[in-house]
Structure 1
Amino acid sequence: MSALDNLVRISRWHLDEARQRLGDLERLEARLQDDIGRLDANLKAEQTAARETEIARAAYPAYAEAQKLRRQRLERSIDDVRGQIAEAREAVAEAYREAKKYELARDNERARAQAKRDRAEAAQMDEMGLQLHRRKQGAGGNGG
């Protein structure tokens, strides 16, 4: 395995790690969005309950305020995660460019090596052809 093969393998590993981190962050954002959705649904359910009983009506303002604060924290968390997602996407793009650079270098190295082997083989075949031609010329000239 050549040095370039190792660089390709390592750069692919870094790319996979970057993609994994991005996926984790995107899943985290989705969970936080789901949390906001559940929070909103619970708030509506409590609003309905507050209309039905005096105890719920008295407790609702404190509950609503706590839910409002929780929602704000979730929204800040989502904003933070979105910033991290943007950074992670750039990291994925950079890791991809790096991997591609090494893959192209490896492929070019392999192509040069193959061309060298092809030239050596062609030279060997030419030499064999010349030797065969000389033998025929030598055999035809002596019999005459």
Structure 2
Amino acid sequence: MKSRENLVRLKQFQVNEKRRQLLQLDMMIAEFDRMAGELELQINAEEKKAGITDINHFAYPTFAKAARLRRDNLKNSQADLLQQKAAAESLLAEAEAELSKAELLESRDGKRSEPETPNRNVMIG
């Protein structure tokens, strides 16, 4: 049936779109992690150069304070993305289940529409 084929194609498109969104989230999470790691290195270098690691010290480097704030913001954003990823994984699982159902219906419909072949195993005596 044509409508079943269209349904399967639609469900396949939806699954592919969910996978693409999940991949994007993974890439963003990894990028935020990389950026936070670089900031951490810069913070440590600045603290070492100043000889001050106490963020409450009056002479704590301004750059290190700003870098800490940015790093913390990246980590918060990363945590938000991880929540979005969990939701996206759930939506992907639902979309894959719907695709499986649609494929099953299509294959079942396809079997019904095939003409039956007569039994050719006739014994000649």
Q: What TM-score comes out, normalization by structure 2 length?
A: 0.82
What is the TM-score with the length of structure 1 in the denominator? 0.72
CA contact (8 A) 2:7 2:102 kept: yes
* Paired letter, 2:50: A
Query: Secondary structure of 1:122's match?
Result: coil
* Ranges in structure 1 where 5+ consecutive residues have no aligned partner: 52-57, 130-144
Q: Displacement of 1:60 after TM fit?
A: 4.6
How many corresponding residue pairs? 115
- Counterparts of 1:57-68 in structure 2, within 5 Å, are 60-68=60-68
In 1, the alpha carbon distance for the partners of 2:39 and 2:62 equals 15
% identity of equivalent residues: 32
2:56 paired with 1:42: no
Q: Which residue of 2 aligns with 1:9?
A: 9
Higher fraction of helix:
1
Rounded to whole Å, the distance in 2 between the matches of 1:95 and 1:59 is: 55
Unaligned residue ranges in structure 2 (runs of 5+) = 52-57
One-letter code aligned to 2:87: E
2:40 touches 2:68 (CA, 8 Å); kept in 1? Answer: no
- Structure 1 stretch displaced more, 5-14 or 62-71: 62-71
Tell me, in whole angstroms, the C-alpha distance in 2 between the residues paired with 1:59 and 1:67.
16
- Listed one character per residue, the Cα deviations across residues 66-91 of structure 1 (whole Å, up to 9, x for unaligned) are 12211211111011101110111111
Detail structure 1 runs of 4+ shifted over 3 Å in the superposition. none
Q: Which amino acid aligns with 2:11?
A: S
Bigger CA radius of gyration: 1
Equivalents in 2 of 1:37, 1:73: separation in Å?
A: 13
Number of the residue aligned with 1:28: 28
Letter in 1 for 2:8: V
